Each structure stands twice: as structure tokens, then as C-alpha cells.
């Protein structure tokens, strides 16, 4: 009884293993975001594109080649020269995916690692061509235009020549060589010095204008005093002297630091009592 049961279990295990092997060899599953082309050993790459789901195949004759058709990021970096022969390092970020309708042609021409074959090549070519049309200063000032030009050219070339769709292309970084950065720094310092000198010149002009205005005011005041003395005689001077003496005497009389007033006929304080 036990021996028969063991034999039956062995047969079931063998049948299950054989069935699993047959199923694995005769079918395949594509997950969301995947697509496949089928390579037939007798007829070559088939024209139909397979998408997510369960698919059948002929063992040892048909081989599915699976592509990831979701958007994936890639960074392309290159060193090139500007129109004015300045060295510049430029870095580009792209999101790419294969044109799923053209997967058979893509597999025949580039294989599964199409992105590693194509993106660095066309990226370097396009970026060098675009950067060469601008000088270093224009790259900084007109960065958005440079980015749009690179995007237009690389998108068109990737799709038309290599069946690759590019989206969300952005210029990540533009960095220049040491000599250019030193020249930019020296220019900034020179501009700051020039602005400082301009400010000093303006301050000197304002001080000059203030001095002239003050001198003119003093001259006008002196003229007025001279005219007043000429018209009123020396009495005006005597009146101003008396008013000043009264003010000084009042301040001294109310000060805690003054304890006595010197005597004498010439003492101004004693001569003024009212």
C-alpha cells in the first residue's frame, strides 16, 4: 500500500515537473511597461509587437526579446569649445523610451542596449554643434535658447534616425574652464572698482556743490551785515554785542560751576543789570 502510494506520488511529481517545463518553454508573460519582439530562427524577427499579458511561443524556435517601454532617465555629458574658443563642460538630462511601434526595426538595427549605443553619440554631436554657435557669454545669457535648440535637434534626430522618443530634456549644468572663470572674476572686480570710483566722484561733486552753496550763503550774509552797518551805523554792532553779553551773563549766573563774578569796571556782567 505504502509502496504504491509512493510510486503514484513520484509519477505525479514527474508529470508536474514535465508540465511546468513544457509551459515555461511554450509561453512567456509580459508585465506592465514591457513589450517584446519575437525572433524566429527560421524567418527572423517577426513584425508583430507583443504587449503585457500571457503569450505562447514555439520552443527552441521562437525567442521573445523584451524591451522596457517606460520612460527612463539618462545623463549625457561632454566637453566642447565655444565660438570664442572657451572650454565648456555641458551636462544634459533626458527621459527616453523606445518607439514601441518600431521595436522590430529597433532590434534589428541596434539591439536591446540601444540607449547605450545611441544617446551618448547623438548627445555629444548635437551639444557640440549647438555650443559652437555661441560664445561663452551668450551661453550664460541665452541659456534657455541654447537648451531649446539642443532639445529640438536631439529630439528630431533620435526619433527620425533611431526610433527613440525623448521627453523632458533639460540642460543641467554649464561650467567653464579655469581661465575663463578667472577672467570673469577679474572683470567683476574691475566693474566693482569702476562703480566705486564713480560713487567717489559723485560724492566729491556733491561736496563741491555744498561748499559753493555754503560760501555763497556766507557771502550773502556778510553783504547783508555790511549793508545793515552802513545804513544803521555802529549802533547795530553795539546792539549785537550787548545782546551777546546778556546771553553769556544769563548762562553763567544759572550755572552751578560759577561761584563768584570778578569785579572791575570793565566786567560785562556787572555792567548789565536789566
Is the torsion defined by CA of 224, 230, 232, 233 positive or negative? positive
Residue 29's pLDDT band (cuts 50, 70, 90): very high
Please state which of the ranges 40-49, 165-174, 262-271 shows the lowest mean pLDDT.
262-271
Mean pLDDT, rounded, for 244-260: 69
What pLDDT, on a 0 to 100 scale, did the predictor assign at position 96? 96
Q: How many Å apart are CA 8 and CA 246, to the nearest integer?
A: 138
pLDDT of 150 strictly over 90: yes
Is the torsion defined by CA of 111, 117, 122, 125 positive or negative? negative
What is this structure's pTM?
Answer: 0.61
Q: How many Å apart are CA 181 and CA 105, to the nearest integer?
A: 47
pLDDT of 205 strictly over 60: yes
Q: How many Å apart are CA 86 and CA 177, to the nearest integer?
A: 7
Mean pLDDT, rounded, for 134-145: 87
What pLDDT, on a 0 to 100 scale, did the predictor assign at position 273? 44
What pLDDT, on a 0 to 100 scale, did the predictor assign at position 87? 87
What pLDDT, on a 0 to 100 scale, did the predictor assign at position 3? 64
Amino acid at each position: 500500500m505504502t509502496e504504491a502510494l509512493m510510486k503514484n506520488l513520484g509519477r505525479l511529481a514527474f508529470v508536474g515537473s514535465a508540465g511546468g517545463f513544457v509551459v515555461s518553454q511554450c509561453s512567456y508573460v509580459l508585465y506592465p511597461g514591457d513589450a517584446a519582439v519575437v525572433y524566429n530562427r527560421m524567418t527572423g524577427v517577426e513584425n508583430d509587437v507583443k504587449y503585457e499579458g500571457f503569450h505562447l511561443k514555439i520552443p527552441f524556435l521562437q525567442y521573445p526579446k523584451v524591451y522596457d517601454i517606460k520612460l527612463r532617465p539618462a545623463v549625457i555629458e561632454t566637453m566642447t569649445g565655444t565660438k570664442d574658443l572657451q572650454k565648456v563642460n555641458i551636462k544634459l538630462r533626458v527621459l527616453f523610451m523606445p518607439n514601441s511601434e518600431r521595436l522590430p526595426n529597433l532590434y534589428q538595427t541596434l539591439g536591446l542596449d540601444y540607449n547605450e549605443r545611441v544617446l551618448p553619440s547623438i548627445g555629444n554631436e548635437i551639444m557640440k554643434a549647438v555650443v559652437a554657435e555661441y560664445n561663452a557669454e551668450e551661453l550664460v545669457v541665452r541659456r534657455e535658447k541654447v537648451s531649446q535648440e539642443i532639445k529640438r535637434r536631439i529630439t528630431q534626430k533620435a526619433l527620425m534616425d533611431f526610433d527613440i522618443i525623448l521627453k523632458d530634456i533639460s540642460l543641467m549644468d554649464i561650467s567653464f574652464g579655469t581661465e575663463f572663470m578667472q577672467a570673469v572674476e577679474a572683470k567683476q572686480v574691475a566693474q566693482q572698482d569702476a562703480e566705486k570710483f564713480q560713487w567717489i566722484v559723485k560724492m566729491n561733486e556733491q561736496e563741491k556743490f555744498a561748499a559753493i552753496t555754503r560760501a555763497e550763503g556766507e557771502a550773502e550774509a556778510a553783504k547783508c551785515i555790511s549793508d545793515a552797518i552802513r545804513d544803521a551805523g555802529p549802533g547795530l554792532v553795539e546792539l549785537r554785542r550787548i545782546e551777546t553779553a546778556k546771553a553769556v551773563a544769563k548762562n553763567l549766573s544759572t550755572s552751578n560751576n560759577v561761584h563768584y563774578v570778578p569785579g572791575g569796571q570793565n566786567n560785562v556782567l556787572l555792567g548789565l543789570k536789566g
